[in-house]
Amino acid sequence: MAPIPLQRDIVQRPGTTRAGLAHGPRLASRTSLPGIPLAPSAARRFVRAALAEWTGIGVPAAVGFSDRLADDAVTVTNELVTNAVVHAGTTVDLVLRLEEEGDDEPSAALVLEVTDHHPARPVSGDEPGAGPGPAGVSPGELPDPAEYGRGLQLVATLADSWGITYRTGLKTVWARLPVDDWSAPPAPPDGEALRRGLRAAEILAPAARRTERDDAVWDSRGAPAFLAEASDLLAGQLDEDLVAAIAGQLLVPRLADWCAIWLEAEGGGPAAEPRLARVWHSDETGTEPLRAVLEREPLRLPAGVGCGPVSVPVPWPAHLVESDREEVGEGREDRPAAPAPPPHPGGRDGAALAFRITAGGRALGTVLVGREGVAQVPEAVGSLIEDFVRRLGLAVGAARAYTRQATISRILQRGLLPSKVAEIPGVTSALVYEPSDDGVVGGDFYDIFACPGDRWCFVLGDVQGSGPEAAVVTGLARPWLRLLSREGFGVGEVLDRLNRLLLDDAMEAAEAAALMVAAAGGQQLHDGTQSRFLSLLYGEVVPLPDGGVRCTVASAGHPLPLLLRPDGSVRPAAEPQVLLGVVEDVAYESQGFDLAPGDTLLCVTDGVTERRSGPLMFDDGDGLARVLAGCAGLPAEATAERIRRAVHEFAEQPPDDDVALLVLHAH
C-alpha cells in the first residue's frame, strides 16, 4: 500500500483565516463519546443528525449538501473516531463545523475534528504492525494488511486537506471536506430559524486570527508568552518525531512562512546522514515542493557554528517552487523533476536562517526557517527562534534519553519474563500483561511451568514499586520458585522458603542495585534500608483421571483468585495471608479444590482490582466478581479479553499501574 501523503502533515488548523479570506458564520455541533467500541457507530449517527438538522433549519451553505458529501463525512468520522478509540483509548471529542469563506469565489467547507486525550499515542499510520491493533486482537494476530491500516489513507483521499494538531494534553485530527455547488447567500440567514436549531448545533463567532504577521508583538510580553507556551507543549513529549511536529506548528506561521527540521542519527558519527524529520509551509500546497527540494541534499552547518542564527541562501528560486507545485499538485509523478539551480545568496525570493539543535554539548540536528518576499529575518525574531531552538534541543534530548531507557527496560523485561509458558493438560490458559510505562521495568511477573510427578505450577506476582530494585527481586524470585517447586516442596512450603530467601539475599541485592543507580548519577527512589515487598499467588495443578484438575493455591498479600462455575457463581479460591518479605517467622497455608470441566480460575494483580476512576476502585462492591460472572461459558481467551476491556473502560485515563491477569479454564 502506498504511504500516507506527507503533505498532509500541516499546521494550519481548520478555521484559521488565510490572507484574502473573510470567514462568514460558523455553525458547529459537538459531542463527547466514551472510548469504547460503540463510539464509532454513535459518531456516525451524530454526523448524519447534525447535517439533517442544518438542512432542516435552512442554513444557506446546507443547500450544497449532497448524499456524497454526507457519505464522505460519515466515512471520515468513522475512521478518525475508530483510530482514536483503538489507539488512544480515551474519551473522544467530536466537532462538526460548517465554515463559509468569502472571496472572489465564495466557498463553504465541512470541517471534522476528532480529539483524544492521549497525545503521546501517535496517530496510526499505514504500518499495521507499528502500533496496537484493533480492540480484541493481539499484536501477533493482526488482520491482513490489505484489510487493516487504510484509515488515514482513506481520509487523505476523501478530504480536501487534513492534519494533526497537538495541544497540552490533547491531540486533534481534523479533515476538511468542500461543500458541493455552493454560492454565497444574498442575505444573512434568518436568525430565528438558526435559534430553533440550537438543539444540535450552536453558532460560533470567535475572533479571527491575525492574518498579517506583526513582528512588533515580540516585545517584552509577546516573546516570553510564546516561549512559555513552547516549553509547556514540548515538555514531557517522549518521541522525537512528535517533538519535531509540535515545533513546526509553533514556528509556522507565527514566526516563519516555512520551516524544516533535520535530526542527526543517534550515535551515527560525523559521516551519518541527517534525517529530514519534518517540513512545513504556511500554504499546504507548498509543503511537498519544499520537501522535494530539501530532500535533494541535507543542510549541513560548519562544525564551528554554535547555537546562534546562521544566514543561508533560500534553497530555491521562485520559479522552481511553481514548477515543483505543478509536478506534485497535478499528480504527474512520471515526469522527471527539473534540476535545481544552485542557490545564490543574492536572491530576493526570501530570507532563511539555520539553527543548530544542541543538548548537553551534542549536536542533535538543524532547524531551517524562512520568510518569503523579504530581504532578511528581523533580528528580534531570529533571537526568539534561537531561544526556541534551545528548548527544542532539550526536548529532543529528553525524548532520546527516554527512548534509550525504554529500550533497555524492554530488553530487561523480556529477560525477567518466561519466553514461553507451559501447556497444562486438560486446561487452557490465557495471559494478559500490560506494563504501565515502557520506560521503567514493571513489577508484575508471571510463569507457568511443568514439574516432576505430573504436576504443573503457575505464578502471578507483584513486586512493590518498579525500576532496577523491583527487577532484582523479580529476577531472583522467579528462578527460586522454579527451583523450590521442582524440589518437590508443597505450595505452603515453597512460600515459606521463598519468604526467608527474600528477607536475606533479595534485600541485599535490591539495596546494592539502588546504590549503583545513585552512584551512576540516577535518582535513588527509595531509602536503601527499605524492604522490597512481594505479593504472590502461587498454585499447583494435577490432572484428574476423570477430567478436570486438582488445584492447590496460596496467596501471600495478593488479590485472591476467583473461581467461576458454569452456572455463573463466583467465589474466592484462597485465603488472604501476609506479604512475602515482611515477617520472618510465618507459616503459609494452602487451599485445595477441584477445577471441573467448564470451571474457570481468574488470577489478577492489584493493577486490576485497584484501578481507579476518581474515588472509586474497580473491585469496589465486588466489581471484579460481577464482571467475571458474566463470563460463564466463555473460553479462557474470551474471558481474559472481557476482563481487560472492563479494566480499561472503567476510567477515561489509561491504567497507571501494571495490569496482569491469568485465566485457567478446565475442559
SS (H, E, C) 77-129: HHHHHHHHHHHCCCCEEEEEEEEEEECCCCEEEEEEEEEECCCCCCCCCCCCC
* 600-604 sheet: strands from edge to edge: 427-434, 659-666, 600-604, 562-564, 570-572
Nearest to 646 by CA among 608, 591, 593, 599: 608
- Of the two residues 545 and 145, the one the predictor is more confident about is 545
Residue with cell 542527526: 264
pLDDT given at position 450: 94
Residues 646 and 643: their CA atoms lie apart, in Å, by 5
Cis peptide before 253 (omega within 30 of 0): yes
- For the chain, what's the residue count? 667
pLDDT given at position 312: 87
User: Which triple of cell numbers denotes residue 662?
Assistant: 491469568
Give yes or no for a contact between 581 and 502, defined as CB atoms under 8 angstroms apart. Answer: yes
Residues 618 and 632: their CA atoms lie apart, in Å, by 20
For the cut 60, the answer to whether the pLDDT of residue 204 exceeds it is: no
Q: Which residues contact 314 (CB under 8 A, 6 or more apart)?
A: 343, 347, 349, 350, 351, 352, 370
Reported as a pLDDT band with limits 50, 70 and 90, residue 343 is: very low
Between the CA of residue 607 and those of 331, 344, 362, 432, 436, what are the distances in Å?
52, 62, 40, 12, 9
CB count within 10 Å of CB 42 equals: 16
pLDDT given at position 180: 67
pLDDT given at position 7: 30
Residues 385 and 116: their CA atoms lie apart, in Å, by 30
Return the SS3 of 549. strand
Give yes or no for a contact between 458 and 450, defined as CB atoms under 8 angstroms apart. Answer: no
For the cut 60, the answer to whether the pLDDT of residue 274 exceeds it is: yes
Reported as a pLDDT band with limits 50, 70 and 90, residue 201 is: very low
Q: Kindly report, residue by residue over 365-393, the tens digit of the pLDDT.
A: 999 999 988 888 888 899 999 999 999 99
Taking the CA atoms of the chain, what radius of gyration do you get in angstroms? 30
Distance of CA 476 to the CA centre of its chain: 33
Between the CA of residue 161 and those of 152, 177, 339, what are the distances in Å?
12, 8, 29
- Give mean pLDDT, residues 533-542: 93
pTM: 0.53
Distance of CA 309 to the CA centre of its chain: 34
Lowest mean pLDDT among 87-91, 170-174, 292-296, 361-365: 87-91
Residues 245 and 277: their CA atoms lie apart, in Å, by 8
Residues 39 and 579: their CA atoms lie apart, in Å, by 42
DSSP state of 503: I
Cα torsion 616, 618, 619, 625: sign: positive
Residues 138 and 632: their CA atoms lie apart, in Å, by 22
Residue type, 115: T
Consecutive H or E run containing 55: helix 39-56
Q: Which residues contact 308 (CB under 8 A, 6 or more apart)?
A: 355, 386
User: Which triple of cell numbers denotes residue 318?
Assistant: 521562485
Residues 128 and 139: their CA atoms lie apart, in Å, by 9
Average pLDDT over all residues of the chain: 76
Q: Where are the alpha helices (DSSP H) in 200-265?
A: 222-234, 240-251
Most confident range, picked from 214-218, 312-316, 564-568, 653-657: 564-568
Q: Kindly report, residue by residue over 485-535, the tens digit of the pLDDT.
A: 999 899 999 999 999 888 876 556 555 555 555 554 554 444 444 456 789
- Of the two residues 329 and 647, the one the predictor is more confident about is 647
User: Which triple of cell numbers denotes residue 494?
Assistant: 515453597
- Of the two residues 384 and 439, the one the predictor is more confident about is 384
pLDDT given at position 362: 87
Q: Which residues contact 604 (CB under 8 A, 6 or more apart)?
A: 460, 559, 624, 643, 660, 661, 662
Residues 350 and 258: their CA atoms lie apart, in Å, by 11
Reported as a pLDDT band with limits 50, 70 and 90, residue 563 is: very high
pLDDT given at position 509: 55
User: Which triple of cell numbers denotes residue 3?
Assistant: 504511504
Residues 550 and 547: their CA atoms lie apart, in Å, by 10
Give yes or no for a contact between 139 and 129, defined as CB atoms under 8 angstroms apart. Answer: yes
Q: Kindly report, residue by residue over 389-429, the tens digit of the pLDDT.
A: 999 999 999 988 888 877 776 776 666 778 788 999 999 99
Q: Report angle CA 638, 641, 643 to the nearest 5 degrees.
A: 110
Q: Kindly report, residue by residue over 644-657, the tens digit of the pLDDT.
A: 999 999 998 888 88
Adjacent-strand bridge partners of 29: 96
- Of the two residues 276 and 361, the one the predictor is more confident about is 276
pLDDT given at position 519: 55
User: Which triple of cell numbers denotes residue 279?
Assistant: 517540513
- Of the two residues 75 and 664, the one the predictor is more confident about is 664
Q: Kindly report, residue by residue over 71-124, the tens digit of the pLDDT.
A: 889 989 989 998 888 888 788 899 998 887 655 555 788 899 999 887 766 665
Consecutive H or E run containing 335: none
67-87 and 39-56 helices, crossing angle to 10°: 150
For the cut 80, the answer to whether the pLDDT of residue 58 exceeds it is: no
DSSP state of 569: -
User: Which triple of cell numbers denotes residue 622?
Assistant: 465486588
